[in-house]
Structure 1
Amino acid sequence: MRLDRRQFTQVLAAGAGSLSVAALANPKPLLRAKRLSPGDTIGLISPANATYEREPFEIATEALQALGFKVKHGQHLRARYGQFGGTDAQRAADVNAMFADDSVAGIMAMTGGSGCNRIVDKLDYALIAAKPKFFGGFSDLTSLINAIHARTGLVTFHCPMAASEWNEFSLQSFRATVMEGLTPLLRNPVEPGDNLVQTQDRIITLRPGRARGALLGGNLAVLASLAGSAYMPDFRGAILFLEDVNEYIYRVDRMLSTLRLSGAFDALAGVVIGKFSKCEPGDGFGTLTLDEVFDDYFLPLNVPVFRGAMIGHIKRKHTLAVGAPVEMDATAGTLQLLQPAVL
């Protein structure tokens, strides 16, 4: 594999210390959008599920305005086709139109749900590469943030959506990464509260160590659904992060098997496991535990792995730069951006 100058520099930098190092294999040069600033315009779109009431649009718009942004609604923001926020053509058209619109500095989804896989092949990736700008979301947006990065090299963001809860923790992480252009150390807060020891948001180290690589991943179910397509990122040398919600454990096992069989685990540098909220055994039959499932898939990789990062369908969440180089420390349970994710 031939490395370009940026990749070669990153690999040399990663060689310092006792790190697990692998070459970043993304064939596209890394693109970074301009940082978002107060007064910028955010394009608000519905690329996944429809929103059925009026008030959520008002709350989402007011939240973005409270962040200091102007808000431009997509032409089909309030459209509905079944559960989707418009037809496939309408939802893809809003994504493409916002990238084409020079007055729009960044693009944010109203909410997740389902349907983004239906439009990944309808986006204008040449346009996106020519006009890189902030694009963020999580959950079903895993399809789009990974497809856009895989096809263009643009750093995208696994972050709150417009209708998410913008609490202080989530807000600080978003501002530091996307608006201030910092390189924050992402770690869970140590908050024992009234207990003798911390019981919430604990870090569990499955295999200690540090590693560097491009940060890739998102919602497990959505990521697994991209397997075998032209929109799946290249995970060689990557730090993989995963989260999910409302999945029976046997389904988590099956989706991890899909990724393993697709080759996604073959040359990972490390794994960060976020929150698997309400992922339970289900009724009527026995099952492996999540501990056992994660051990089965990730311990044989012989790379650093930790679990419990504040990533996923939770109120307080980190903003992650998809495609950006990071260093993970599985013992400390941290992720460190190695360069600003925005210009």
Structure 2
Amino acid sequence: MPSQIIIPPPLQPGDLLRVIAPSGALRELGAFQRGVEIWRSRGYKVEIIPEIDVKWGYLAGKDENRRDHLVSAWQDPECRGILCARGGFGSTRILEEDKGNESFFVSSPTPKWLIGFSDITALLWSLYQAGISGVHAPLLTTIADEPDWSLQRLFDWVEGRALAPLKGNGWGGGVATGILLPANLTVATHLFATPIQPNMDGIILAFEDVTEAPYRIDRMLTQWRMSGVLSKVRGIALGSFSRCEVPQNVPSFSVEEVLRDRLGDLSIPIVSDLPFGHEAPNAALPVGVQATLDGDRGILDIF
């Protein structure tokens, strides 16, 4: 765990933001353009890389090109924040050359905002390993679907204002304070045994996922249990598990039953049904900051 997390300087209208596509190929062009306009309507200068719609199989270009776009944006002294176009898959491929503290994220004299979720989990966790806080928040292809309060929450955080607590369904377990580490469950599971996997001591995990059958969620959470990692965390916040329905004509637990079965006996605070994940609302969650999880009252509060 980083000894101290750096929160980038607050954004201000007029700041330059760079748009990159570090993961999957951009398909939702209309949604993407609406997302860009949301940031521009707030007064930000939004610069889009020329290769934003390049496709290399299911990826948004070859690995070296996507990595170069990320490195260029990170090292650009004029750029104050990086907006990720979409998720999908691919961010882990451009992190293969990084080895812990040798990450290029430590090379910028002025840390900047990195905003995204889903497959961007890998970049957010890599940034956290470098001691810098990013934001688990809507992508440019999803932000236009957010309700006004969720949009305001994101802008509040990156512009230097406090966040209101989030309310969910408390499972009990008391109250815990720790370092908030949001993630897509599938991506986080595939970071096991890599340099990107953080130390989980004192962590409050925040998980969400999409289009994973209940048995797949079960398999991933069983791996987390068997690894011993869940014995170290202080609490678990659960967002939406969208379109994780039971397959037709197949005996199955529901995803809610799987979550209860695999997490309910950990004797730590757990809160489910929090408003973040793949289907709006996707409330912004800072990475690596102090948070309190109240498993009795069902509240996640960011310091």
- Answer yes or no: same fold by TM over 0.5: yes
Structure 2 equivalent of residue 83 of structure 1: 58
Q: More displaced, 307-316 or 57-66? A: 57-66
Cα distance in 2 for partners of 1:31, 1:39 equals 22
Structure 2 equivalent of residue 113 of structure 1: 88
How far apart are 1:101 and its partner, in Å?
Answer: 0.5
Aligned length: 297
Structure 2 equivalent of residue 50 of structure 1: 25
1:177-192 paired onto structure 2 within 5 Å: 177-179=157-159, 181-188=160-167
How far apart are 1:185 and its partner, in Å?
Answer: 2.5
Does residue 140 of the first structure (1) align with residue 116 of the second (2)?
A: no
Deviation sequence 1:45-79 (CA, Å, 0-9, x none): 00111124754553333222012210112353222
Does residue 209 of the first structure (1) align with residue 209 of the second (2)?
A: no
Is the contact between residue 11 and residue 80 of structure 2 (CA under 8 Å) also seen in structure 1?
yes
Q: More displaced, 315-324 or 160-169? A: 160-169
1:1-343 paired onto structure 2 within 5 Å: 26-52=1-27, 55-122=30-97, 125-128=103-106, 130=108, 131-150=110-129, 152-164=130-142, 165=144, 166-179=146-159, 181-188=160-167, 203-338=168-303
SS of the residue 1:90 aligns to: helix
Structure 2 equivalent of residue 341 of structure 1: none
How far apart are 1:301 and its partner, in Å?
Answer: 1.7
Cα distance in 2 for partners of 1:80, 1:28 equals 39
Cα distance in 2 for partners of 1:277, 1:227 equals 23
Is the contact between residue 171 and residue 298 of structure 2 (CA under 8 Å) also seen in structure 1?
no
**Letter in structure 1 aligned against 2:290:** P
Cα distance in 1 for partners of 2:212, 2:256 equals 15
Answer with 1 or 2: which has the greater Rg: 1
Q: Normalising to structure 1: TM-score of the pair?
A: 0.81
**Letter in structure 1 aligned against 2:119:** D
How well do the aligned residues superpose, as a CA RMSD in angstroms? Answer: 1.8
Q: Which runs of 5+ in 1 are unaligned?
A: 1-25, 189-202, 339-343
Structure 2 equivalent of residue 192 of structure 1: none
Q: Normalising to structure 2: TM-score of the pair?
A: 0.92
Cα distance in 1 for partners of 2:218, 2:14 equals 45
Question: Percent identity at matched positions?
Answer: 29
Is the contact between residue 24 and residue 87 of structure 2 (CA under 8 Å) also seen in structure 1?
yes
SS of the residue 1:256 aligns to: helix
Cα distance in 1 for partners of 2:189, 2:223 equals 6
